[in-house]
Amino acid sequence: MTILAVETSCDETSAAVVREGKILSNAVSSQIALHAEYGGVVPELAAREHLKNLPPVARAALDEAQTSAGEIDAIAATQGPGLPTALLVGFKAAQAIAFALRKPFIGINHHEAHLYSPWIGDFAAFQPNVSLIVSGGHTILVWVQSELKHKVLGATIDDAAGECFDKTGKLMGLPYPAGPEIDKLAEQGNPAAFGFPRPLLADASDDFSFSGLKTSVRYFLRDNPELLDNPQKVRDLCASIQAAIVEVLVAKTIRAAKRAGVRCVTASGGVTCNRELRKKLEHACKKNGFILRLAEKDLCTDNAGMIGILAERKFLAGTSQVPMDQEIISGLTLA
């Protein structure tokens, strides 16, 4: 079957064409430049850009896939979670296309699409796993018992890891989004230069908390403002912040995998593009005998390709969609 998928949960307008488990096209229009001057995504501006960008992005996806509207068998779109106004643009547009073409419509949970993105192109190798979904808005640990059957083990109780990267970077005066900039600067920094807290690292739960780390960096910079005038100290600061975040993410993921008794660990979401996180996860999995599967970098950030792939698998499995006004992963409400 052939699916046209749409993703507008935040600040990327994306459309993709998926057929028989393959992503034929995955067009993405980013709004980073628009929101950079505000230091973060402005929901109303994001929604307006989606309205403007979605028609040409959808046409580009169809053209790249060499597919006409008449060849589409179903339409899919992200239904949540995300920025409500941004979500509505893509969700309602996709519903309208489905109505006009008289084709089935499939609503997809954004978290769940990330959850299965490490298996795209190789679902035949699927096995039970513990998965880390880590992005600007979410940090979640999920136990995947079988395909489309999973249980949320824990999630962030305040700031997400990606949010901590971006907000601490903003405190340092780094450009938005600060996460990739911290990744780049940290490469030449000393991760042991400054000691920042590892929130909930010793806690037995699978939950995360990064607001305390952000606050710690804020007070540190208040008391040591001169460090920002020293390029090497800034690199050390970036490396130290990154080390704190990554240590918590890796340790809790490995701990959860051991408790669940699985042999495989996966990771997805925008923060999974971070090179230190990928390296530390690989090292920890190798040390503990786990197979590691990381989503491809172009599938880590928000994109319609992963939405279409999951929609196809759900459609073929006969799985019903979930209500748009609920943030759900297969019946498990996320706080």
Count other C-beta atoms under 10 Å from residue 9's C-beta: 25
- To the question of domain 127-294 being in CATH 3.10.350.10, the answer is no
Dihedral sign, Cα of residue 84, residue 90, residue 15, residue 41? negative
CATH topology of domain 2-116+300-333: Nucleotidyltransferase; domain 5 (3.30.420)
Measured between alpha carbons, how far is 313 from 319 in angstroms, rounded to an integer? 9
| Strand, helix or coil for residue 17 | strand
Sorted by where each begins, the domain ranges of the chain are 2-116+300-333, 127-294
Q: What is the largest CA-CA distance in the chain?
A: 63
Fold agreement between 2-116+300-333 and 127-294: yes
| Strand, helix or coil for residue 224 | coil
Report whether the peptide linkage leading into residue 191 is cis, meaning its omega lies within 30 degrees of zero: no
Q: What is the pLDDT along the chain (335 residues), one digit of tens a residue?
A: 999 999 999 999 999 999 999 999 999 999 988 998 888 899 999 999 999 999 999 999 999 999 999 999 999 999 999 999 999 999 999 999 999 999 999 999 999 999 999 999 999 999 999 999 999 889 999 999 999 999 999 999 999 999 999 999 999 999 989 999 999 999 999 999 999 999 999 999 999 999 999 999 999 999 999 999 999 999 999 999 999 999 999 999 999 999 999 999 999 999 999 999 999 999 999 999 999 999 999 999 999 999 999 999 999 888 745 443 344 333 333 32
Task: Note if the pTM is more than 0.95.
Answer: no
pLDDT at residue 165, rounded to an integer: 97
pLDDT at residue 330, rounded to an integer: 36
pLDDT at residue 40, rounded to an integer: 87
